[in-house]
Amino acid sequence: MIKNYIKAARLRTLPLSVSGIIVGSFLGVKSLNNQTSILESPIFWFAILTTIGFQVLSNFANDYGDGIKGSDKNRTGEARMVSSGAITPKQMKMAMIITSVITLIIALLLIYVSFGKENFGFSILFFGLGIASIAAAIKYTVGNSAYGYSGFGDVFVFLFFGLLSVVGSYFLYTKNLNLEVVLPAISVGLLSTAVLNLNNLRDKEEDKKNNKNTLVVKLGSQKAKKYHYFLIFGGLISALTYVFLDFRTIYQLLFLVAFVPLIKNVITVAQNKIPADLDGELKKVALSTFLFAILFGIGQFL
């Protein structure tokens, strides 16, 4: 049974989910102008655990929501636990509740470590963002008004994986906003959205049958491919803009290594005729985004 929950947690999605935290933490530690290692920061580890909790919750909710609606019956890729009968809807709902509670507790620890007792207003703000993240994770596919079925999943991923993740984690360190940090946040958001777009390109026909009106279903495959090119190259341009606003060393361009497989992905998508063949590309783009986050952060310090 535990193995089924691990499958439902979809561990391969976790590197992508923490990419924004990595970028925001590197920039936050750098802005403090001290010698503290990012790995020595309790803020970093609590932020990572909180984000993983939100991602697992989202995966559980996605499995549950699509399972009870019958959207996963003939899907390509990993088998879903509720639709296959390995986990009952009632069991999955309980797993969602437990995950929400544990994640909220970790989020409270993160808020306390970052703001202590002095910044009560900031604590309330981030607690509210935590509640909003839980609600957004669940409402993606659960309920009659699930926004993942209305083409708004891309907006959720861009905002939560990109802007909130990067800018939010940066703020946890610095207690202030820097508009330039929005640029790498846009990069992470666009690349994360590209993973979702690939998923929706792969599942377009099945989603259409199940009235899951993703952006790909609304746009059609050809326009969705052009949208994909925009997401990848938009992420590249945004990161380059940030670097050249304060260019000091060639090492700041280290992140370009991560765009080698991403450019290859664009070529693969352009030439693709069989949507099911895109399944392997999801992992490539997700891991490339994770690599981008690490190399971008290291480049800022070198």
In degrees rounded to 5, what are phi and psi of residue 78?
-60, 140
Question: How far is 19 from 21, CA to CA, in rounded Å?
Answer: 5
DSSP secondary structure letters along 119-184: -HHHHHHHHHHHHHHHHHHHHTTSSTT-GGGTT-HHHHHIIIIIIIHHHHHHHHHHSS--GGGHHH
Q: How confident is the model at residue 71 (pLDDT cuts 50, 70, 90)?
A: low
Question: What pLDDT does 74 receive?
Answer: 56
Asked whether the beta carbons of 214 and 147 are under 8 A apart, the reply is: no
Q: What is the pLDDT of residues 171-189, one digit of tens each?
A: 999 999 999 999 999 999 9
CA trace torsion 77, 83, 86, 87 (10° rounding): 120
112-165 tens-digit pLDDT: 999 988 888 999 999 999 999 988 888 887 866 778 788 888 999 999 999 999
Tell me the CATH number at 229. 1.10.600
Q: Is residue 297 scored above 60 in pLDDT?
A: yes
Q: Domain total for the chain?
A: 1
pLDDT, tens digit (0-9, with 9 covering 90-100), for 41-58: 899 999 999 999 999 999
Q: Indicate if the pLDDT at residue 75 is higher than 70.
A: no
Mean pLDDT confidence for 88-116 = 94
What domain range includes position 105? 2-301
Given pLDDT bands bounded at 50, 70 and 90, which one contains residue 202? very high
pLDDT at 165: 96
Confidence at residue 76, expressed as pLDDT on a 0 to 100 scale: 58
- What does the alpha-carbon distance between residue 165 and residue 150 come to, in Å, rounded to a whole number? 23
Residue 35 confidence (pLDDT) above 60: yes
Residue 251: predicted pLDDT: 94
Would you list the DSSP string of 6-66?
A: HHHHTGGGHHHHTHHHHHHHHHHHHHTTS---GGG-HHHHHHHHHHHHHHHHHHHHHHHHH
Query: In the structure, what pLDDT confidence band is assigned to residue 104 with cuts at 50, 70 and 90?
Result: very high
Angle at 200 between CA 198 and CA 205, to 5 degrees: 130
d(CA 290, CA 191): 10
Spatial separation of the C-alpha atoms in residues 57 and 63, rounded to whole Å: 10
Q: Is the pLDDT of residue 78 over 80?
A: no
- Flag the least confident range among 22-26, 110-114, 132-136, 165-169: 132-136
